[in-house]
Amino acid sequence: QVQLVESGGGLVQNGGSLRLSCVASGRTFRGYAMGWFRQAPGKELEFVAAINYNGRSTSYADSVKGRFTISRDNAKNTVYLQMNSRKPEDTGVYYCAGSPTYGAIRHSNRVDKWGKGSLVTVSS
């Protein structure tokens, strides 16, 4: 069974960079599509980025395209989210997510593995 633990959150200045990591335990990580969601204060959970099981396909929310990059290292059971050119509206709790199906990972109701979240705050 896959368990997910995020790290790397914190305070970053407007325009700065930060990288989140998500380490997965369990043998099935390599077969899972992985993704990141975020929830800003007072707002709903939203999809941020996704990557398929071998890292060859990625997708992004329009709001982060060109600024964020998702990647994975299956040898380390880790998925990353590199966030550049941060904006205050990027503030929120970021959740790592996993699904057996890449096509489903964009939809929070079809994610079957969640991390506990990592808070990222962008100062204006």
pLDDT, position 42: 94
| CB-count exposure of residue 63 (10 Å: 0-12, 13-18, 19+) | middle
pLDDT exceeds 80 at position 1: no
pLDDT, position 24: 94
pLDDT, position 57: 97
Identify the band that residue 23 occupies on the pLDDT scale cut at 50, 70 and 90: very high
pLDDT, position 14: 86
Q: Which of 24, 50, 23, 25 is nearest to 36 (CA)?
A: 50
Distance of CA 26 to the CA centre of its chain: 18
**Percentage with pLDDT > 90 across the chain:** 79
Bigger pLDDT: 92 or 122? 92
pLDDT, position 30: 84
Report how far residue 73's alpha carbon sits from residue 23's, in angstroms, rounded to the nearest whole number.
Answer: 10
What is the per-residue pLDDT across 52-107, written as a single tens digit (0 to 9) for each? 999 999 999 999 999 999 999 999 999 999 999 888 999 999 999 999 999 999 99
Q: Average pLDDT of the chain? A: 93
